[in-house]
Amino acid sequence: MANTTEEKNIKKSHLLLLLQLARADDRMHLNEDKFMRQVAKRIGLNNTEFEEVKFYPERFTFTLHKSQKGRFKCFVDLLNLMKVDNNIAKEEIDFIKRIGLILGINIPLTEDLVALMEKFIGKEVPYDVIEEAAQKYLN
């Protein structure tokens, strides 16, 4: 993906959603920060851009992923973030449900995926396990 302004805004928006989720329970755990930095690097944002989004989100235009696949990958990152502190707070679940709707993910699917995340607290959830759980809603 070339880094046009719109594409950078999509990446920064992806990161901003993660930051908002991390702050939803009024606690920012060290593991959450570490996870978000890994995601930022994976999607092509450097440390300076990470800090910009964290401290100055108003500097860019919020832009959602254009593709369903991109929005779902963002959602999967959100799901994984909510369990990295070994606790899934009610505020995080509420946030996930609201953002899921914006990303085109329905509530029943969100609830199933949150339940899956609760089974994997303290462990990594393979992407194919999440995809498999989502298949009954996507067909």
pTM of the model: 0.92
> What is the per-residue pLDDT across 57-110, written as a single tens digit (0 to 9) for each?
888 888 999 999 999 999 999 999 999 999 899 999 999 999 999 999 999 999
As assigned by CATH, the class of the 5-138 domain is mainly alpha
Residue pair 6/63 in contact (Cβ under 8 Å)? The answer is: yes
Residue type at position 24: A
- How far, in Å, CA of 35 to CA of 84, rounded? 8
Domain boundaries, the chain: 5-138
Tokens 């462990």, residue located: 123
- How far, in Å, CA of 11 to CA of 5, rounded? 10
Q: Which residues contact 135 (CB under 8 A, 6 or more apart)?
A: none
